[in-house]
Each structure stands twice: as C-alpha cells, then as structure tokens.
A and B are shown apart, each in its own frame.
Chain A
C-alpha cells in the first residue's frame, strides 16, 4: 500500500525534476509571473547574455507602479513600467500592460485569466504568490535571484517544507469573512508561526468559502510566515475556472478535472502540525500594531506594555494609548483594494455597508483588476462608492504599497483592506489598521474602527 500523502506532497512530487543528495529539489515551474519589480532579474539575465527559456509560460503584469488616478505620472514610475514593457517585448512574453482591459494585480489576474490552475507550480517575485494556492496549486514567492534562475532554466531549487493543516470547523458568523479567519490564526500563531511550513486550509468553513474568500485566506499565509498556503480544489474551484481565457480548452476539460480531483490530502496523511479553530468563535478582527500578528476582535482593547515586547515603540508609532478600546480609534481615511481584498466579492460586501450612507472620512477604492472594475461599474457598485463620497480609482496595487504614489501621509491613520501594517508600508509614518473590506466600509461611515455587524443588519 502506498503511503498516504498530503496535498503539498502530491504537488511537490508532480514537479520534482530531481532531488539532490542534500535534500534540495529541483522543481519544474509551470507558470512564471513577472512585474515591474522584476527588473533586477532581467538585468541579471542580460548580464549573462541569456534568454528567457520559456516565454510562453511567462507572463508580465503592470501592477505595483500602475497609476490609478488621472494626472501626471512621475518619471521614475513611467520608467519602471517602460522597463517591464521593453523586457517583455524583447523576451516575447505576453504582457498585461497598463491600458490592457485584462490588466490588474498579478494575484488577481492570474486566476481571472485561468493562468492559475489546480496542480500547477506557480512562481512570482512577490510574496503574496501564496494566493494562487487557493486553487490547489503549489504557489510561492521568490526573490530576484530566483526569478532570474526561473527565467533562465524554468526551474527552482527548494527544500520541501514541513506541513501544517489549519482546520476551520463550523460556520462563520454573518459579516465575518476570510480576512477575519486569516488575521485570527496569525494572531494566535504569530507572524512567524508558520515559518518553514506549507499551510493547507481545511474544514467546513473553508469549504464554504467562495474562491475569492479562499484567495484572501491563502494570500495572507505569508503574513503568518508560510511561504505557501493551499486549499484542495473542488466543484467551487472548477466552476470558477470554466471558460477562463488561458485555462484548458473544452477538449481537455474533462481530463483536467479528472487530474484535479486527485489533488487532496489523503485521509491518513500526516501533517507536522495540526491547528483547529472553531470558525463560529471568530469576530470581525482588526490590527492595532505594526505586525499582522497584532490583531484582535473589534471588541478588544489596545494591549498594555507588559503584554508584548517592543509594545511601547509600536504604540508610539501608531499614536495609540495602551488600554484604549479599539472601537474608539478614529481614522483619517480608508482604503479598499489590493491582492488580498480587491476582488468583486470584496467590493460587493463593502458596497452593502455603504449603500445609502455617507463616508465621514475620505477614502480610495481601487479594484484589483480592470475586469473587476468593469464588473463593479456594471453592477452599480462603483456608484455606491462614489455616492458615499469615496474616490473610485483604476486597478493596481495602489495604496497597499504606495509605489505608484497613492500614499498615506505621515501620521495619518488608514483603515485598510490590505495585508501589511508594517511601519512605512503605506507611506512614511503612515498608520495602518488591517481589516476586511466590510470593516473598512464601516470605519468610513462612522469615522472610527467599529463592528460592521450592526451596519449589515437586514443587508446580507
């Protein structure tokens, strides 16, 4: 009898070209996604006079520096976008350029275009590549040297990670989302809690999530230290993928599904660590500090100095007092978008809160892709945002990282649907509170961090 395998092991074995004596595997890469930040890797390749080995498996996306608002574009930003364009053209890589109707954040358009499929190994020079694991893919972020390596030889050297399964039993409460599930486990295990592990998410509450929700969950794996997160594919996955541009043609569809149905952890598979969480106990969750692990239910209070190390410096940076109620924290602005929560379902949820209401603070909404943008406009969501007084912007990474100039000013406090509350992440001196898009919308209409659930009554 063959040994019971985890999903991660099945995916790994299917991509292992060879395993060196020292235990390092050479893995075949099915999809390689590059963006403006990949300029270092292209420069490395050029310095060696090498070509891109598999341009047809490589796709370029303008996202990090994509301008999302009308107006002048800084020369630096223009140069970054042009450099990617030049590199993509020279290498014969399909580029989702700035004005392409399919453009968007790499982790949004990969799935949207059917570039992301169950059973694939997907790499990108970006830590949130873990997102694509939501489809039952082996997907992880790599650094520039590794990007250059993949460009050159379409493979990557990796050590097999340990395996962790996080099982969410039960049912999520109304108004509680995948974002809250993620912040919840990261707070429980720590921002390095899953370092060295690949995380598989399982359980009824995960099965009940849409693909958008599963992507949010897998996206945030890296914030808990895991380089990859994954969910076994099922009918929800297949329904999402049917008919996507780059996905399997009809002739191959049944074979693909037959392969994909094998992608799950066997009943007796052994994980190095098992974590169980009762989803019904999860409340809308927000961060108060400068690490995603600094997350608490909205009913909580800013911790006291003896609760954690460095807390004083964190509170100083965040401009908060120990012991204050999280719901008393007033915000200066809000942001909805990013590869974590910039998809159509996220915008729908935020719009449910905002419909017929006015934001009392300014805010920016940047859809995750041009397609999401169009869909939101067609569904009337864009109108809801604008009528609430929020700015409806173009697609890109935008205020998640501010590379395109969408910055939070020093000292300003932003309720944000993004993934990192690091010092300076949204701009020098910016103060970020992470939460779900619905919670961001609630902060927008009340002007402070607040429990979204009462605002959603009768609207779900």
Chain B
C-alpha cells in the first residue's frame, strides 16, 4: 500500500450518528472477492433508497459524518467499500475502535473532530459538496472554507504517510517472538490447546 500526505478533492456531509459497518456495506455483499471492487456496495441500501444521493452526485474524497462512525461489525469490507468508492478521509467526532484500525491499514484517514466543528460543517455544506484539502503532516484540513484541526494518533499518522505494511514491520522481530513463545509455553503448559 502506498502512503499519502495531502489530498485535494470535494467533501460531503452525512449528518447521521452511528453509521455502522452494516450500513456501510450490507452483509449480503461480503462474499465477493476484493478484486471485484467494493465501491458499488458502499452505503448500498441508503444510496439505493434515494435517487441522486449526495455521494453519487459529487463522488467526494472526503466524508463528514456524525459520532460513532464505523461502529459494529469488524468487517474490513466496510473500509474496502469506502476506499474503492474513492474516499480517502472520514471526519467524525468518534469512530468504532476496530473500524479505525482497519481504516489505517487501508490508507483511509479516520480523523476526529469535535461536535462543534461537525455542526459547523453540516450547516455549511447541507445538501451540497464543499472543497476539501487535507494535510496529514500538519494535521490540518480545509473543508468547505473552514480551517479545521483534527486529532490523529501519531502512530497512525506515520503509517498513513508511509503506507507501512505491518507484516514486513513485524518480521524484524521474529527472534523476539520466537523467544517469547518458548518462554510462555514453558511457564504455562496449560496454555497450549490439548490435541
């Protein structure tokens, strides 16, 4: 996965809280291999119920949404759907913990903003799109004419910028892991499954 530092595009706001991963991608699409592309599944039932949904009008790179975005099921497919649709950043007051981890593993920024900023962005954009510029290195963004700062864990910031792959990163610790394993099962033989 390649990293990124800045993005320029448009943003739209979904003024709902608790947009869970079941909504982001309904379960019935999850048997597809990734190669098929997950973009068309994004918020499928919500978009389908509404002719000319905001998302389809503007194909934004940035989403602004209410609190607890990406809560619920651990399905990484929710992130695939966002990323394959072309979204690179989501701004919300809070995110499901597992979703936030999945996001960074796929180059998607999950940026935390406070409720006041959310309310301001929703009021400004309403049913239209705004311009968006995001800079990971400074932690600043300009959305619909508003300069906003966002909170992002420094580790996650680095990972997004560098596009690190954890498996490669962990490989350098293979000796430590081996030693740990041996010590753990020597001290606690009961921890090995009986077979």
Contact = CB atoms under 8 A, between A and B. Distances in A.
Interface string A57-92: 100000001000000000011011000000000000
21 contacts: A17-B173, A24-B155, A80-B31, A125-B76, A143-B98, A146-B105, A153-B171, A155-B170, A190-B68, A195-B96, A195-B97, A225-B97, A259-B188, A290-B18, A291-B18, A310-B16, A310-B66, A401-B73, A402-B28, A422-B22, A424-B26
Interface in A194-209: 195-196
A126 B74 CA distance: 5
B194 A247 contact: yes
Nearest to B34: A40
A310 B105 contact: no
Contacts of B155: 22-24, 159
Nearest to B69: A192
Contact of A127 (B23, B28, B67, B73): B73
Interface in A111-170: 114-115, 117, 119-120, 125-127, 141-146, 148-149, 152-155, 157, 159
A322 interface: no
B98 A31 contact: no
A256 B190 CA distance: 6
Given A143-B74, A227-B97, A422-B22, A157 B166 contact: yes
A153 B153 contact: no
A127 B20 CA distance: 12
Contacts of A141: 74, 98
A225 B176 contact: no
B173 A252 contact: no
Nearest to B73: A127
Contacts of B76: 40, 125, 143-145
A253 to B, nearest CB: 8
A18 interface: yes
Contact of A145 (B22, B26, B105): B105
Interface residues of A, number: 81
Interface of B: 15-18, 20, 22-23, 26-28, 30-31, 33-34, 45-46, 66-68, 71-77, 79, 94-99, 101-102, 105-106, 153-155, 158, 166-167, 170-171, 173-174, 176-177, 180-181, 184, 188-195
A43 B34 contact: yes
Nearest to B154: A22
A149 B167 contact: yes
A394 to B, nearest CB: 19
A149 B166 contact: yes
B167 A148 contact: yes
B96 A225 contact: yes
A48 interface: yes
B190 A259 contact: yes
B72 A422 contact: yes
Contact of B94 (A192, A256, A428): A192
Contact of A423 (B15, B22, B181, B192): B22
B193 to A, nearest CB: 4
A126 B17 CA distance: 22
B96 A145 contact: no
A401 B170 CA distance: 34
Q: Which 9 A-B pairs have the closest CB atoms?
A: A143-B102, A256-B190, A248-B190, A145-B105, A144-B76, A143-B76, A192-B68, A252-B190, A127-B74
A65 B26 CA distance: 14
Nearest to A27: B180
A148 B194 CA distance: 24
B151 to A, nearest CB: 12
B170 A76 contact: no
B23 A424 contact: yes
Given A142-B74, A309-B17, A425-B22, A119 B173 contact: no
B184 A403 contact: no
A148 B166 CA distance: 10
B176 A40 contact: no
B79 to A, nearest CB: 7
A145 B18 contact: no
Interface string A302-335: 0000000110010000000000000000000000
Given A141-B74, A313-B16, A403-B30, A191 B23 contact: no
Contacts of B75: 37, 143
A429 B95 CA distance: 24
Given A227-B97, A309-B17, A246 B72 contact: no
Contacts of A22: 154-155, 158
Contacts of A226: 97
A290 B170 CA distance: 40
Contacts of A159: 153, 155
Nearest to B46: A423
A255 interface: yes
Contacts of B158: 22
Contacts of A223: 72
Interface string A258-283: 01000000000000000000000000
Contact of A196 (B73, B97, B170): B97
Contact of B170 (A114, A157, A191): A157
Given A24-B155, A157-B166, A422-B23, A31 B45 contact: no
Contacts of B171: 153
Please indicate which of the listed interface residues B27, B77, B192 has the most CB atoms of chain A within 10 Å of its own CB. B27
B66 A309 contact: yes
Contacts of A154: 177, 181
A56, A191, A313, A403: which has the most chain B beta carbons within 10 Å? A191
Contacts of B72: 127, 222-223, 420, 422
Nearest to B79: A143
Given A191-B71, A310-B16, A252 B189 contact: yes
